[in-house]
Amino acid sequence: MRGMAIEPDARAQQSDETLVRRIRDGEQDLFAVLVDRYKRGIANFIGASVRCAPDVSDLSQETFLRAYAHLDTFNPQLGRFSTWIYQIARNVVRTHLGKSLRRPPAQELPEEQTLENTLPDPSVESDPAGGILRAEAEHELREALAELPERTRTVLALRYFDNMEYHTIASTLGLSLGNVKTLIHRGKIALARKILERESRSRSAAQDKGGTRALLLV
In a domain, 38, yes or no: yes
Contact (CB, 8 A) for 168 and 80: yes
Mean pLDDT, the chain, integer: 76
The answer to whether residue 115 scores a pLDDT higher than 50 is no
pLDDT, tens digit, for every residue of 178-199?
999 999 999 888 888 888 887 7
Q: Where does a domain end: 72, 106, 140?
A: 106
pLDDT, mean of residues 40-53: 86
Q: Which domain holds residue 131?
A: 127-218
Q: Could you give the count of Cα atoms lying within 13 Å of 195 in the half-sphere of its Cβ? A: 14
Question: Exposed/middle/buried for 166, CB within 10 Å: 0-12, 13-18, 19+?
Answer: middle
Q: Does residue 99 share a domain with residue 155?
A: no
The whole-number pLDDT of residue 8 equals 57
The whole-number pLDDT of residue 164 equals 83
Q: pTM (2 decimals)?
A: 0.64
Question: Exposed/middle/buried for 171, CB within 10 Å: 0-12, 13-18, 19+?
Answer: buried
- Model confidence at 175, pLDDT cuts 50, 70, 90, reads confident
Q: Does residue 89 share a domain with residue 43?
A: yes
The whole-number pLDDT of residue 113 equals 41
3-class secondary-structure state, position 78: coil
The whole-number pLDDT of residue 118 equals 37
Q: Does residue 132 share a domain with residue 100?
A: no
Total number of domains in the chain: 2
In a domain, 120, yes or no: no
The answer to whether residue 41 scores a pLDDT higher than 60 is yes
Can you state the angle between helices 16-24 and 81-99, rounded to 10 degrees?
80
Residues 6+ away with beta carbon under 8 Å from 31: 19, 23, 68, 71
The whole-number pLDDT of residue 31 equals 95
In a domain, 117, yes or no: no
In a domain, 146, yes or no: yes
Residues 6+ away with beta carbon under 8 Å from 65: none
Q: Where does a domain end: 106, 138, 165?
A: 106
CA 162, CA 118: separation in Å to the nearest integer? 8
Q: Does residue 204 share a domain with residue 137?
A: yes
Torsion of CA 58, 59, 60, 63, to 10 degrees: 130
Query: Which range, of 57-66, 103-112, 128-137, averages the lowest pLDDT?
Result: 103-112
CA 42, CA 204: separation in Å to the nearest integer? 36
The whole-number pLDDT of residue 210 equals 59
Q: Does residue 143 share a domain with residue 73?
A: no
Q: Does residue 41 share a domain with residue 139?
A: no
Q: Does residue 213 share a domain with residue 145?
A: yes
Q: Does residue 143 share a domain with residue 86?
A: no
CATH number for position 190: 1.10.10.10
Contact (CB, 8 A) for 169 and 180: yes
Q: Does residue 91 share a domain with residue 180?
A: no
In a domain, 55, yes or no: yes
Q: What is the H or E stretch that residue 73 is in? A: none
CA nearest 194: which of 154, 153, 161?
153
